[in-house]
Amino acid sequence: MSDTSIEDAFRRICAMEIPLRERLTAFSEAVKRFSLPFAKAYDDLVTRIRSGEAGITAPRIGDRMPPFALPDSQNRLVSLDALLQDGPTIVSFNRGHWCEYCLIELAALRGALDEFAQKGARVVSIMPESQAYISNLDERSGITILSDIDNGYALELGLSIWVGDDVRRLYLEHGVELQKYSGNDTWFLPIPATFVVGRDGIIIGRQVDPDFRNRMEITEILSALDRADQLA
């Protein structure tokens, strides 16, 4: 049965057992079909932030991952150093609980948790939202969600961007109230990015793409973890 709405497409895609990249592509096609104004605004946003070289200064493979200590959904501080004591850590920057692309990525990460655990790795997702909004997502995703209010850590890594007036207007028209979720009216979001960090704190895998419709494939994360095992 064909989709009749963007919501139908989202539910169907989340349930699909295909590579993450294919799921994201399928959802982008659904956005073009059912929400063309969003598709056009997203294209313009990506063009703008690419032209501004957003994310170009973000840490690279071989760099040491900058430390963080951020609150989880229960307001407990979680530090990168503490995470790395248990093994490699996959650090994923996401835009928020309302972002379908982020939810599709989190579903794919959740589906790979057992594979990550076999390699001694765990996953954290960093979002610029208060505990009130990440708590339900934390429970549903099975992934530790950390709150980066005001995008402080994202700014440190060169990952924070302004959404622009067109996207802001569309979001407000459709009930996406970033000012409420983040507790400020800046309308800044992180560029979705994934860093695979070895137990020594060195980045062994990375994807930073100003186009938030693209995410690091699960197989690429696993390959980075395999390389770390070989070097250990």
Does residue 131 lie within any of the structural domains? yes
Can you give the pLDDT at residue 59?
96
How far is CA 56 from each of CA 21, 98, 131, 157, rounded to the nearest angstrom? 22, 26, 30, 10
96: left (phi over 0), alpha (psi -120 to 50) or beta: left
Q: How confident is the model at residue 142 (pLDDT cuts 50, 70, 90)?
A: confident
> What are the tens digits of pLDDT across the range 33-56?
999 899 999 999 999 999 988 899
Distance CA 230, CA 13 (A): 35
Q: Does the pLDDT of residue 232 top 60, yes or no?
A: no
Distance CA 71, CA 127 (A): 11
Percent of the chain with pLDDT over 70: 96
**Could you tell me which of 17, 169, 192 has the C-alpha nearest to residue 100?**
192
How far is CA 127 from each of CA 22, 99, 136, 220, rounded to the nearest angstrom? 24, 11, 13, 22
Domain count, the chain: 1
Q: Does the pLDDT of residue 172 top 90, yes or no?
A: yes
Does residue 174 lie within any of the structural domains? yes
Q: What is the average pLDDT value for the chain, to the nearest integer?
A: 93
Show the CA angle centred on residue 167, arms to residues 212 and 26, nearest 5°.
40
Can you give the pLDDT at residue 203?
97
Does residue 154 lie within any of the structural domains? yes
Can you give the pLDDT at residue 230?
63
Domain extent for 67:
6-231
Does residue 1 lie within any of the structural domains? no
Query: What CATH number does residue 62 fall under?
Result: 3.40.30.10
Q: Please answer whether residues 195 and 39 qualify as being in contact, where contact means their C-beta atoms are separated by less than 8 angstroms.
A: no
> What are the tens digits of pLDDT across the range 188-222?
999 999 999 999 999 999 999 999 999 999 999 99
Q: How confident is the model at residue 229 (pLDDT cuts 50, 70, 90)?
A: low
Can you give the pLDDT at residue 22?
96
Does residue 101 lie within any of the structural domains? yes
Point out the least confidently predicted range of 26-40, 95-109, 130-144, 182-196. 130-144
Q: Please answer whether residues 210 and 191 qualify as being in contact, where contact means their C-beta atoms are separated by less than 8 angstroms.
A: yes
